[in-house]
Amino acid sequence: MTACVPGWSEPVNRTRVVRWLRVLLPLLALAILSTMFLFSRKPATEPQIPYAEVDAEQMAREPRIVAPRFSGVTSDGAELLLRARDAALTDADGRESARDLQLTWRRPDGLEAELTAPDARVAEGVIGLRGGVRMATSSGWTLEAPQIDAATDRSLIAARDGVSAAAPFGRITAQEMQLLPQGGVEGEAGTGGSTVLNFSGGVRLIYQP
């Protein structure tokens, strides 16, 4: 049994409630937002724009080039790509130094060598990598040496102060190493098409089949 109250109209009253809510709810949202802005705390520290930490006096004394790149081709067709974190002139003779250096050396026969070193000296015709050099070749060799020199006018990479190499067939230690075209000698471009690794001076091989 359903009782009806005289004068009560359920659809009409529901419409009135909806209309009032449409007005009250936006006002309530605005009040909440205003309260949030009024009581929000200020940050403990003022925001700061990040700046690179650069010693201006040192930059004035030692001008440097940031992220330099050098590319070239030797007389016998080897491609060179040199990258560094920065570079600077080191003396009155015009020699340059570079830090965090990466050198990519690619021969026409397809052999590629990647060299990395923390420091380098660039003189006329020679890139001298120093401070512990690592070289990896596309043929599977990995070499480590205190220093390695790479010629820029011909295909020649040489280590003269000791070298340790890991080959696909074992390990080799020697006093000197040269990576150059077959048939070539230091100071001259090779005549052969392929590239070879020559070790000399107390060579020791540990064969690991």
The string of pLDDT tens digits covering residues 107-133 is 999 999 999 999 888 888 898 999 999
Token pair 């007389």: residue: 75
In this prediction, residue 54 has a pLDDT band, given cuts at 50, 70 and 90, of low
Q: Model confidence over 168-182: pLDDT tens digits? A: 899 999 999 999 998
Q: Model confidence over 17-31: pLDDT tens digits? A: 667 767 777 777 777
**Contact (Cβ atoms closer than 8 angstroms) between residue 80 and residue 70:** yes
Which of 14-23, 29-38, 134-143 reaches the highest mean pLDDT?
134-143
- Nearest of 149, 156, 135, 129 to residue 74 by alpha carbon: 156
Q: What is the pLDDT of residue 94?
A: 56
Question: d(Cα 186, Cα 199) in Å, to the nearest integer?
Answer: 13
pTM recorded for the entire structure: 0.64
CATH architecture classification, 56-207: Sandwich (2.60)
Residue 4 is classified by DSSP as -
**Contact (Cβ atoms closer than 8 angstroms) between residue 81 and residue 104:** yes
pLDDT > 80? residue 142: yes
Contact residues for 174 (Cβ-Cβ < 8 A; gap 6+): 162, 163, 165, 199, 200, 201, 202, 203, 204
